[in-house]
Chain A
């Protein structure tokens, strides 16, 4: 019985948890921490139940719930989950408790507020992934800005105000144009359906009937919003600021989940709603994605700050995801989905590791470190694994995603040229260059900074957090089909939605 309301339950757990935290007295920091952790673990458990209940072979949206919300505009609270969103939901609920755990000691100012906003953020992110109504989706998409804004602004670094406002304005700019597009398509739908509509399933049928030249504009309005979030070059400038200034937990969530909302949006909304436009823009966006891959890697190479380096590496990695989506083949699309998860895990791990040394040394400059392999051996090993996973070493998760994306891009009929895959592949090499070079400068060599000698190795809590992530890093690397088969039929469906139109159009 409860099973049918699982998704609402999943959203309710962190929401109610966040509200309950407000009732706890302000000075009881530990109670707040344990309670927040308990709630986020509970949410993870709920998402696991959803995972085991999801019938991957059947595919499509499952566990759907739909209730009329604003009746005279036919807006409903409509949620459901498919293979693509399921993986991202799992990623979200998996990372949230880990980030809360990671900030156990580093966040001491207003713990109550921090935990409150983290749980609220989780609600927003989960809501984005499970919404099946454009309007509901938009609400989660925007509402999620508020907690992230506070997390960067209150617990962030020295330039946190600038970074948080920039983050907010950039995202808001894109999403408001999307709002106009959502309204437009709703009004357009009333011509066929007889009523205003924002129901995604209904609109899947209506979107492709929009006149070609209007569809191009609609696609752009949606894509701009998602491209800012991803971020696709040249809209990435908010990202390094936000990442560097955010506290570790914020960076992990930002890189791990928030950026995925952009690529998820492209997959879920842009492609199926405006297929002709998607086909038209596919080569252009792919070129931007490849520029992002190479540009991100080159800029990462010259960074002096570890966190900034990881931030730019995100631009490069997300470039792969976008390329995989717009190559529009089964392999590349599945690669893109798995790469979203991979990036969440490996970049999350890298940010956590940077956080580990930052908590001790209060600096993230690569030059301040060097020769720490003997002093903190456990850290050195963990950083190695995280770097290799991010580079895409076979046997670890990154390889699977990038390989599938490149393979799919190579034989993509939409892009129809091997140049795309060729250039994108260079990104893998660059990734090895900047990450291994950073690794070498931080971990090996002579000890230049005497303070490094007092560095303490990772404690049990930190080891636990990273080990939890590495379990999945290796699992995906060795046996990816556990995860690939979850998203198989769903990605297949997206491709059909786009390419069927092309075939019909050709007739």
Chain B
């Protein structure tokens, strides 16, 4: 009995979110003021779940007949998902009014997507991963097409759905092949027999399909085609969630299911595949981003490039690489949400002010926003002393450790390319005069969310040791 209580206590984050979804549905249905209550309620349950996970990070256990893992790395992922989503909700409060249409589902869908992410990160069984993936993805498709009257939003939703479903097909096929060779979908079972199974070509094919499917979700080249269109068509806040929570969830699924590959105990035979998509994602993302005029599309290509840097950590196949990826994801979540946050604050009605040109002269009109966005851009470009730099630093160390120095060199070279387009935003804001009049609608909660994110970016940059120490403790 006591054991069950402990188990129940351990899965509280999931229960909070699950219960939150049900209560939110009721609030949505029965309260006239649901538009004001719902976001704050959502933030409350997300924070509660996130901090519960963080405070119990050292309680490592399993739950539900070995179907879910709790504590350790899983808790860290829970924290990233929930805090990220909470920031998105804060940004949304004023944004969604500006965006034109408010639907109560919006905040509920964010919660269901977070629940999906958490299932992916905590999975001990391939089916749980699949369950979580679908829960997250379906919520995402709906969020992308939230404004059904807008053509671009419809396009984004449909494109995301079709390609996403296609990717899921890969994953399911991969799971089927893995099951066919292992006769089990339990991750523990797979891990324990990994070194013997690795010689089975069918098993390898299954893993490869599984990886390819998730390459879609993490927006890696050549499975990135949906990214720019979906980011552009979706509400900016939601695009922020796709690029942070969605990406982190996909990485968490790879790390929990194929964790054995990244411990360094057996050789990582997928290093060539991972290295290749890392290189192409970094270089392609950085180069194509230069040509973008729309800031959301630019951030989309930047997100492809960042997926590449993170994959370096996986390709290295050592524990340092995994902790590097998780650190990178933490840093990336805050900086990208801050970036999308500023975009959401500046975006006008009817999707105005999304072109890069509308950022010119921002420093003189809104010095605070310009300063915040500059810090984010420097951080995304990987310039110390901000969080983004340390993310890159850790994955590069992992790469060098695994004798993949060439991968680190390509990584730094593509960072130089990426500096160009990140700096262009700063150039426009500080060195150019404004071309068009820009009326900013005030959003205190949105601004607060951005300030918090930037503060975290700086804090992680100045004291990365505690974060990396916590993460490395579990890998």
Q: Which residue on chain A has the smallest CB distance to residue B384?
A: A139
Q: With A72-B469, A153-B427, A168-B419 in contact, is A176–B412 under 8 Å at CB?
A: yes
- Number of B residues whose C-beta is below 8 Å from A? 31
CA distance A187 to B426 in the complex (A): 35
**Which chain A residues numbered 152 to 175 have a C-beta less than 8 Å away from chain B?**
153-154, 160-161, 164-165, 168-169, 172-173
B409 within 8 A of A: yes
CA distance A164 to B424 in the complex (A): 11
Q: A73-B397, A142-B384, A172-B419 are in contact. List 14 more A-B contacts (CB 8 A).
A: A68-B465, A69-B463, A72-B469, A139-B385, A143-B384, A143-B385, A146-B383, A150-B430, A165-B420, A176-B412, A176-B413, A176-B415, A176-B416, A183-B396
Does A172 lie within 8 Å of B416, measured CB to CB? yes
Q: How far is the CB of A442 from chain B (nearest CB, A)?
A: 31
Does A177 lie within 8 Å of B383, measured CB to CB? no
Does A72 lie within 8 Å of B465, measured CB to CB? yes
B55 within 8 A of A: no
CA distance A72 to B397 in the complex (A): 13
Contact with B along A25-64 (1 / 0, CB 8 A): 0000000000000000000000000000000000000000
Does A161 lie within 8 Å of B400, measured CB to CB? no
Which listed residue (B397, B409, B419) contacts A196, Cβ 8 A?
Answer: B397
Which listed residue (A154, A173, A180) contacts B416, Cβ 8 A?
Answer: A173
CA distance A68 to B419 in the complex (A): 30
Q: Which residue on chain A has the smallest CB distance to residue B408?
A: A180
A70 within 8 A of B: yes
CA distance A146 to B409 in the complex (A): 23
CA distance A70 to B385 in the complex (A): 13
For A68, A75, A165, the residue with the greatest tally of chain B CB atoms inside 10 Å of its CB is: A165
- Chain B residues within an 8 Å CB radius of A169: 416, 419-420
Does A145 lie within 8 Å of B383, measured CB to CB? yes
A138 within 8 A of B: yes
A71 within 8 A of B: yes
- Chain B residues within an 8 Å CB radius of A184: 400, 405
Does B430 lie within 8 Å of A154, measured CB to CB? yes
A-B contact pairs, 9 of them (CB 8 A): A70-B465, A72-B465, A73-B397, A149-B426, A153-B430, A164-B431, A169-B419, A172-B419, A186-B397
Does A168 lie within 8 Å of B423, measured CB to CB? yes
B468 within 8 A of A: yes
- Chain A residues within an 8 Å CB radius of B397: 73, 183, 186-187, 196
- Number of A residues whose C-beta is below 8 Å from B? 34
A436 within 8 A of B: no
CA distance A402 to B460 in the complex (A): 46
Instruction: Give 7 nearest A-B pairs by CB, closest first.
Output: A176-B412, A70-B465, A139-B384, A153-B431, A187-B400, A173-B416, A183-B400
- Chain A residues within an 8 Å CB radius of B420: 165, 169
- Chain A residues within an 8 Å CB radius of B389: 139, 142
CA distance A230 to B420 in the complex (A): 22
CA distance A180 to B423 in the complex (A): 22
**Which chain A residues numbered 59 to 96 have a C-beta less than 8 Å away from chain B?**
68-73, 75
- Chain B residues within an 8 Å CB radius of A210: none
For B378, B384, B420, B464, the residue with the greatest tally of chain A CB atoms inside 10 Å of its CB is: B384
CA distance A75 to B418 in the complex (A): 27
A373 within 8 A of B: no
B401 within 8 A of A: yes
B393 within 8 A of A: yes
Contact with B along A104-138 (1 / 0, CB 8 A): 00000000000000000000000000000000001
Does B384 lie within 8 Å of A138, measured CB to CB? yes
- Chain A residues within an 8 Å CB radius of B405: 180, 184
Does B409 lie within 8 Å of A177, measured CB to CB? yes
Does A165 lie within 8 Å of B423, measured CB to CB? yes
Does B416 lie within 8 Å of A70, measured CB to CB? no
- Chain B residues within an 8 Å CB radius of A145: 383
Q: Which residue on chain B has the smallest CB distance to residue A161?
A: B431
Q: How far is the CB of B10 from chain A (nearest CB, A)?
A: 27
CA distance A153 to B384 in the complex (A): 20
The tally of CB-CB contacts under 8 A between chains A and B is: 84
B472 within 8 A of A: yes
Does B468 lie within 8 Å of A165, measured CB to CB? no
Q: With A165-B423, A168-B423, A172-B419 in contact, is A183–B431 under 8 Å at CB?
A: no
- Chain B residues within an 8 Å CB radius of A75: 465
Does B401 lie within 8 Å of A72, measured CB to CB? no
Q: How far is the CB of B418 from chain A (nearest CB, A)?
A: 10
Q: How far is the CB of B462 from chain A (nearest CB, A)?
A: 9
CA distance A402 to B315 in the complex (A): 52
A179 within 8 A of B: yes
CA distance A169 to B413 in the complex (A): 11
CA distance A176 to B426 in the complex (A): 20
Does B412 lie within 8 Å of A180, measured CB to CB? yes
For B378, B397, B400, the residue with the greatest tally of chain A CB atoms inside 10 Å of its CB is: B400
For B396, B431, B432, B465, the residue with the greatest tally of chain A CB atoms inside 10 Å of its CB is: B431
Q: With A72-B469, A161-B431, A168-B423 in contact, is A180–B464 under 8 Å at CB?
A: no
Contact with B along A234-274 (1 / 0, CB 8 A): 00000000000000000000000000000000000000000
Q: Which residue on chain A has the smallest CB distance to residue B412?
A: A176
CA distance A183 to B399 in the complex (A): 10
Does A72 lie within 8 Å of B468, measured CB to CB? yes
Q: How far is the CB of B369 from chain A (nearest CB, A)?
A: 15
CA distance A269 to B431 in the complex (A): 35
CA distance A478 to B363 in the complex (A): 50
Q: How far is the CB of B315 from chain A (nearest CB, A)?
A: 16
CA distance A143 to B465 in the complex (A): 19
CA distance A72 to B474 in the complex (A): 13
Q: Which residue on chain B has the smallest CB distance to residue A75?
A: B465
CA distance A173 to B409 in the complex (A): 11
Q: How far is the CB of A177 from chain B (nearest CB, A)?
A: 6
- Chain B residues within an 8 Å CB radius of A138: 384
CA distance A168 to B400 in the complex (A): 26
Q: Which residue on chain A has the smallest CB distance to residue B428?
A: A161
CA distance A149 to B431 in the complex (A): 11
Which listed residue (A69, A172, A177, A183) contacts B465, Cβ 8 A?
Answer: A69
Q: With A142-B383, A176-B415 in contact, is A154–B468 under 8 Å at CB?
A: no
Q: With A69-B465, A145-B383, A179-B412 in contact, is A160–B431 under 8 Å at CB?
A: yes
- Chain A residues within an 8 Å CB radius of B409: 177, 180
Q: How far is the CB of B464 from chain A (nearest CB, A)?
A: 6
Which listed residue (A73, A146, A183) contacts B378, Cβ 8 A?
Answer: A146
Q: With A176-B416, A180-B396, A184-B400 in contact, is A165–B427 under 8 Å at CB?
A: yes
- Chain B residues within an 8 Å CB radius of A149: 423, 426
CA distance A354 to B400 in the complex (A): 48
**Which chain B residues numbered 417 to 451 have a C-beta less than 8 Å away from chain A?**
419-420, 423, 426-427, 430-432
- Chain B residues within an 8 Å CB radius of A68: 465
**Which chain B residues numbered 355 to 393 have a C-beta less than 8 Å away from chain A?**
378, 383-385, 389, 393
CA distance A168 to B469 in the complex (A): 32
Does B408 lie within 8 Å of A183, measured CB to CB? yes
- Chain B residues within an 8 Å CB radius of A142: 383-384, 389
- Chain B residues within an 8 Å CB radius of A176: 412-413, 415-416
- Chain A residues within an 8 Å CB radius of B432: 161
CA distance A161 to B429 in the complex (A): 12
Q: Which residue on chain B has the smallest CB distance to residue A160?
A: B431
- Chain A residues within an 8 Å CB radius of B383: 142-143, 145-146, 172
- Chain A residues within an 8 Å CB radius of B464: 70
- Chain B residues within an 8 Å CB radius of A73: 397, 465, 468
- Chain B residues within an 8 Å CB radius of A172: 383, 415-416, 419
Q: How far is the CB of A107 from chain B (nearest CB, A)?
A: 15
- Chain B residues within an 8 Å CB radius of A71: 465, 469
Q: How far is the CB of B96 from chain A (nearest CB, A)?
A: 33
Q: How far is the CB of A139 from chain B (nearest CB, A)?
A: 4
Q: How far is the CB of B244 from chain A (nearest CB, A)?
A: 24
CA distance A64 to B138 in the complex (A): 58
Q: How far is the CB of B377 from chain A (nearest CB, A)?
A: 10
Q: How far is the CB of A179 from chain B (nearest CB, A)?
A: 6
Q: How far is the CB of A114 from chain B (nearest CB, A)?
A: 12
